[in-house]
Amino acid sequence: MATITKKELIDRVADNSGNRRVQVKKVIQQFLDEIVNELGKGNRLEFRDFGVFETKLRKARKAQNPKTLEPVAVPEKRTVKFKVGRLMKQRLGELTGAAVDDEAGDVAEMNEGAVEEEERSHQHQAGA
């Protein structure tokens, strides 16, 4: 399995689109910056059929140093989760011949939040 860098993606997009590399680089960088900015604000980013990015707050907890076995306080931290979208999952399955599963341990929790949000949206639209 190869690692593809941002530079390689920029080169591919520039070649395939016929746009200048410098312009493609600016657009891709701005796109990535906007993702980071929105996640930093606590917003959820949904790219239909591609996937969903959102941040989760991991609570502070007690852990154990494996060498000394002493308890260690682990502070709360914010993590970014990605849930694979339907078409991406389907396409990856076709390309690899293997089932694609979400690695995020709280995918069910993310789905519940999305369903609740969609239901609220439908209720709001029905009431308008």
What pLDDT score does 106 carry? 46
Same domain, 35 and 57: no
**Domain count of the fold of the chain:** 2
58 and 119 share one domain: yes
> Are residues 52 and 103 both part of a single domain?
yes
The three-point CA angle 71-105-66 to 5° equals 20
**Structure confidence at residue 98 (pLDDT):** 80
Tokens of 81: 């989760």
Instruction: Assess whether 60 and 99 both reside in one domain.
Output: yes
What is the per-residue pLDDT for 104? 54
Domain carrying residue 125: 44-128
Whether the Cβ atoms of residue 82 and residue 110 lie closer than 8 Å to each other: no
Q: Looking at residue 82, what is its pLDDT? A: 93
Profile the chain (128 residues) by mean pLDDT over runs of 10 residues: 94 97 97 96 94 94 94 94 92 85 53 46 46
Alpha helices in the chain (DSSP H): 6-17, 21-40, 86-96, 107-127
**Residues 56, 115 share a domain:** yes
